[in-house]
Structure 1
Amino acid sequence: MIEKETFGRRQQAIEQFRRSAGSPELFGKSQQLADYWFNLKKSGLLPEKKTINPRDLQSLLPQIVMLERDEAGLFKVRLSGTGITELWGIEPTGKEFLAHAALQNRDKVQSLLQSALQQPCGLIMRYDDLYTDGRLIQTEFALFPIRMSANQTQILFGVISAADHEEQSWPQPLLATAFYRIKNFQFVSVGGGTPTPADDC
């Protein structure tokens, strides 16, 4: 049974997200993922991985990503869709998520991911990735925390997608530098509030 207070906080979080989701307007896949996550069955504030049904995510599967924090505090790509491989030109599964991140933004993104697990809350970020032909591709991720099981470590589950007009540019060169330029980000309350970003974020 969900405690009445927990249920109330979750409903407030859903309403708050829906009010704010249009500013700045989210990419379509980010909005779909957020709506799906908020409708998952929860244990407390978070769903368990077993509640995710791939059949309900057919249109999102190519862009799906799952990040797990290892003992060293690094985020590893536990699972990634074929669309992400096509987008980056590399297979990221099993590798460090921030391996190609711009040095000037790596610590910032790492800190935000860490905050999304600790609070916990959702994190949506829009940024430009730099490719080997010099092009900048506008990209967005939407990540939300889930549990592997009731008592296990949380992971971040979500989507990574390019702007719709960018997705028609394939085939393309390889990803050179991820998070080359961060445009904006927002934490999304899932019922427990959101972190206060550090001044340098």
Structure 2
Amino acid sequence: MFHPSTERLIDYWRGKAADNGVPARTSVNPGDFLDLLPQVFILGRDAQGRHPVRLAGGFVTDLHARDLRGEDALGFWTLSQRLEVKSALEVARRRGEPVVITADIRAVGAPPVGMEVLLAPLTGADGQADRFLGLYQPIAMIQRLMGRPALELGVRQIQTLGPANEESPRLRLATLHGRLIA
């Protein structure tokens, strides 16, 4: 179970998938999730396996305290975990499924802050997955960073979610006042 904003963008991504595949970049309308735009970003993928930031919302750029356009997003992660994140992106791209990385935002002189990073592949005009729709969703109080910029992200867990045609599991009420509800 993820943060409701993460779940919402996953559901949006799944809803845009055509023929049980990966959604096209052109099918994503930022107007459909205006309240999440500060936390949203788009990554590209070039031939060298780099993942340059194409667009980044205000929260994302403020967190890193710089313009991120053109930067390789793998550089945001701890050096020892970059290969793991790169592998997760490649698996997500090949399988046509989103990935959620539960991470720690690390800044100098501040305790780490938990965050979910959603990375969901998108296809270009040629039908190849060449972009990722991303979301930075804090899962702890971001104020703990005391306004300090993120130096790096550290991986806690990486979860793949299955292709667009799979429904995410939903919780159901099983009891009420101690009695089983059928």
Task: Give the TM-score normalised by structure 1.
Answer: 0.75
Change (3 A) 1:39 1:186: same
CA distance in 1, matches of 2:9, 2:20: 20
User: Displacement of 1:146 after TM fit?
Assistant: 1.0
Q: How many pairs were matched up?
A: 166
The residue that corresponds to 2:92 in the other structure is 116
Code of the residue aligned with 1:177 in structure 2: it is E
Question: Contact 2:22–2:97 (CA<8 Å) still a contact in 1?
Answer: no
Q: Give the alignment partner of residue 160 of structure 1, picking from 116, 124, 136.
A: 136
User: Displacement of 1:62 after TM fit?
Assistant: 0.6
The residue that corresponds to 2:147 in the other structure is 172
For structure 1, the 5+ residue unaligned runs are 1-21, 194-201
CA distance in 1, matches of 2:77, 2:41: 16
The residue that corresponds to 1:141 in the other structure is 117
Question: Contact 2:119–2:132 (CA<8 Å) still a contact in 1?
Answer: yes
User: Displacement of 1:168 after TM fit?
Assistant: 4.1
Question: Contact 1:124–1:141 (CA<8 Å) still a contact in 2?
Answer: yes
For structure 2, the 5+ residue unaligned runs are 167-182
Matches within 5 A, 1:21-170: 22=1, 26-163=2-139, 165-169=140-144
Which runs of 4 or more aligned residues in structure 1 lie more than 6 Å from their structure 2 counterparts after TM superposition? none
User: Displacement of 1:72 after TM fit?
Assistant: 0.8
**SS across alignment from 2:152:** strand
Question: Contact 1:90–1:175 (CA<8 Å) still a contact in 2?
Answer: no
Identity, % of aligned positions: 23
The residue that corresponds to 1:7 in the other structure is none
CA distance in 2, matches of 1:166, 1:105: 24
CA distance in 2, matches of 1:41, 1:111: 23
User: Displacement of 1:157 after TM fit?
Assistant: 0.8
**SS across alignment from 1:59:** helix
Code of the residue aligned with 1:189 in structure 2: it is G
CA distance in 2, matches of 1:60, 1:51: 17
Question: Contact 2:22–2:129 (CA<8 Å) still a contact in 1?
Answer: no
**SS across alignment from 1:108:** helix
Code of the residue aligned with 1:30 in structure 2: it is T
CA distance in 2, matches of 1:51, 1:98: 26
Change (3 A) 1:41 1:115: closer
CA distance in 2, matches of 1:185, 1:88: 21
Question: Contact 1:141–1:161 (CA<8 Å) still a contact in 2?
Answer: yes
